[in-house]
Chain A
Amino acid sequence: MLAVPGAVLPNFGQTSSCVRNNGLFCWSWFSQHWSDTFGPAIGQHLVLTVIAVAIGFVIAMAASLVAYRLPWAGAGFNVVFTLVFTIPSIALFELLVPATGLTRTTAEIALTSYTLLVMFANFVTGLRGVSADVLEAAEGMGLTRGQRLRRVELPLAIPAIVAGIRVATVTVIGLVVVAAYVDNEGLGVPILQAIQNSSFKTELIAAAVLAVLLAWAVDALLVGSQWLLTPWLRSRRA
């Protein structure tokens, strides 16, 4: 385990009694270390998450489009993504270290692989859920295959697509904590630090709560974008 620059081990000579007694939550210590520890860690956490979800999205979308046209290919993707998803995360991180080292790349490869199954499954469900009548009308009116996909199938799959992204994102935000074993970034770093430091409660709780809040915030953002993207679902029924 590497030391985090700026993360300070409790110095019993100078710090408050709260820190010395390992109290439940020491506000002053938390605010002192917001700018050198927690603030940057949140930023790194978010970047790691966004990269993993973005790459995962591209792969899962491509796979689901292939699977939508070729059901047998879909079965293949499903097997592969399920297999990857069932590998315990710590094991996968450690397995990758010999190849890619203790780097962000190692973290991202593992994180991305965990997003694939849930996004793929949701995207395929969304595409297959477009009503046959709508597709028949679209074909009968002379929309080409590409036009049907872009103008009809993908927009109507938005709710399922966003649902997949939400589950993948929240999952990855949790896994980034574990990724701190191989990549010295994110809110996992102060958590590991606190554990090593005879379970320093303030640091542990602060990092964990921030990870949860980050997940909520990003999820709320995704719900909001779905709301904006699907005006037809907002209208009241007749």
Chain B
Amino acid sequence: MSADRSTAAVAARRDERTPAATLEFDGVSKRYPGASGPALDNVSFTVPAGEVCVLVGPSGCGKTTAMRLVNRMIDLSDGDIRLDGDSVISRDPTTLRREIGYVIQQIGLFPHFTIADNIATVPKLLGWDKKRIQARVAELLEVVSLPPEMAKRYPRQLSGGQQQRVGVARALAADPPLMLMDEPFGAIDPITRDRLQDEFLRLQREIRKTIVFVTHDIDEAIKMGDKIAIMREGGHLVQFDSPAEILTRPADEFVARFVGIDRALKRLTLRRLHDLEMAPVPAAQVGDDAGPVYERVAASPLDELIVVDGEGKPLGRVGADRLQAESRVPDSRLDPVGVTAPETWTLRDGLAMVMTDGNRPLLVLDEAGRAAGVVTVEQLSGALRPNGSPAPTVPERGDPEVSA
């Protein structure tokens, strides 16, 4: 992975980028002839430019229909969809689609095109010259963290995860102001999916596209979305809000059930350990005077000294009792560093770690591996109940209307 390089590659071209578009759904309905009810029923919402909107709901809720109306793979029956204020209905579908990135679950790479030709599909349709296409392909391979030698391979020579990266690169090729992604990580194993999600979020922080992202997985929705549109059978939009808002104040029983009775825990995935006000680490180097160090250990929730090297990376622990008996910070017979957590972990991961470790305070490391702070179980469980939120209600089981 080459996070830094790809970020730099994207940043270098920030100035020449197409600005993201605002996407408006205005009273949109879709009825199929002969169907008993609408596939999409009077749906309105606005996705501000540069935000990720996740459409989520059980199968048959109309989320994919809603997405496919945007690039006119399906035509709407009522209402309007506007991109930066311009109705998509007035646009020629083919031209419109070339301006909208499109990623599907099955990826749909062209098996007879090399990776480079797959990525170059839309630029070629738009008539870019060869040099510009070549440069763009090289840039995009870097953006999605694929080695340049992949360019000449064929899709079947790549793993599923690599193919999906090519799918994303292909959708980004002509720098579209809007991307549509239909369960893009749905067919990928959980570990690779998690990594692709993280990579995609990192990429999105740089490219700031407007993105419509369809999934049936509420956890993915919470992770990926700036906004979440929760839909239910019959094509109804039930709630359109930020993930935190949806987890804190579900609009109705359906949403509450859909996000799960563990929604307070899920809310913990929205924040990371470095977002907390961590207590300072009682740290010292070998040979430091034990007296003042002991004072700091006594004042810390962690009743141990963390012995660190010159850079601040932990070497081991010394219990408060032993430290009191020493005159200097010892260099031998240190207890192992034990459980630590990177500061980029979500609060949920942190809580899980603390609870497996007997509720002891957690030593948090920064990205360089230096001791960054201490987080306690009280802090983590306190984050479960944000101020001002009503007491969590548990939806009753067996509600026939809710079958998420």
Contact = CB atoms under 8 A, between A and B. Distances in A.
A235 B73 contact: no
* Size class of the A contact interface (CB-based, 8 Å): 20 to 34
Nearest to A143: B125
B154 A141 contact: no
Given A136-B104, A142-B94, A235 B110 contact: no
Given A156-B112, A232-B111, A237 B97 contact: no
Contacts of B156: 232, 235, 237-238
Nearest to B105: A133
Contacts of B158: 238
A232 B154 CA distance: 6
A142 B122 contact: yes
Contacts, number: 77
Given A136-B108, A141-B97, A238-B159, A147 B71 contact: no
B36 to A, nearest CB: 26
A15 interface: no
B95 interface: yes
Interface in A135-153: 135-144, 147, 152
Given A139-B73, A140-B71, A152 B110 contact: yes
Contact of B108 (A137, A155, A232, A238): A137
B121 interface: yes
A44 B250 CA distance: 82
B112 A232 contact: yes
A142 B98 contact: yes
A25 to B, nearest CB: 48
A134 interface: yes
Given A141-B97, A235-B157, A230 B112 contact: yes
Interface string A211-238: 0000000000000000000111001111
A34 B102 CA distance: 64
Contact of A156 (B73, B102, B111, B121): B111
A28 to B, nearest CB: 53
Contacts of A235: 153-154, 156-157
B102 A237 contact: no
B145 interface: no
B73 A140 contact: yes
Interface string B125-167: 1000000000000000000000000000110111100100001
Interface of B: 71, 73, 93-98, 102, 104, 106-113, 121-122, 125, 153-154, 156-159, 162, 167, 170-171, 180
19 contacts: A135-B108, A136-B104, A137-B109, A140-B71, A140-B73, A140-B102, A141-B121, A141-B122, A141-B125, A141-B171, A142-B97, A142-B125, A156-B111, A232-B111, A232-B154, A235-B153, A236-B157, A238-B157, A238-B158
Q: Which 8 A-B pairs have the closest CB atoms?
A: A137-B108, A142-B97, A133-B106, A140-B102, A142-B98, A133-B108, A232-B154, A232-B112
Given A143-B125, A237-B156, 12 more contacts: A134-B109, A136-B73, A137-B109, A140-B73, A140-B102, A141-B102, A142-B93, A142-B122, A143-B94, A143-B121, A235-B154, A238-B158
Interface of A: 131, 133-144, 147, 152, 155-156, 230-232, 235-238
